Amino acid sequence: MLTPADRQFIQDHLQADLHRLLLSANRYPGVQVPVAVAQIEAFRKVREKIPSWFRFDLIMPPVRSVEQASSEETARFKAGLFSGKAMADLTGGMGVDSWFFSRQFNQVVYVEQQPQLVEIARHNFDVLGARNINAICSGF
């Protein structure tokens, strides 16, 4: 996971040239520069796509997962179509849909087959205060 130094680096370099950061990684001891650069790239996409998730206490998944995730507008729309006691998101991914559904349902089961995404989603759900989401790693 990210260290406090990594998080600060991400915030300080959000607008920086990512290739230059990677080439000058040795100038930043104590920072996981490749990891931080991947986070910066994902945060840049999240800022436009899912603005309510543009928070530096969250951990971003790989960029491909951000690209495949629902936009905030789409997730809000889908969540507005249904409400109730329980639902399952069987294609959990980044967790955006599950999070918006968690505001409409008493219990949400998020299912994802990639362990890394499940770990990230659990962290983010906790930070976002979504205590009614049960994240499960399963490939069926």
Q: Where are the domains of the chain?
A: 4-66, 68-137
| Nearest residue to 50 via CA among 80, 77, 81, 73 | 73
136's CB contacts (< 8 A; 6+ apart) are: 109, 110, 111, 112, 118
With 70 as the cut, is the pLDDT of residue 16 above it?
yes
With 70 as the cut, is the pLDDT of residue 33 above it?
yes
Give the model's confidence band at 105: pLDDT under 50 very low, under 70 low, under 90 confident, else very high: very high
Q: Which CATH class is domain 68-137?
A: alpha beta
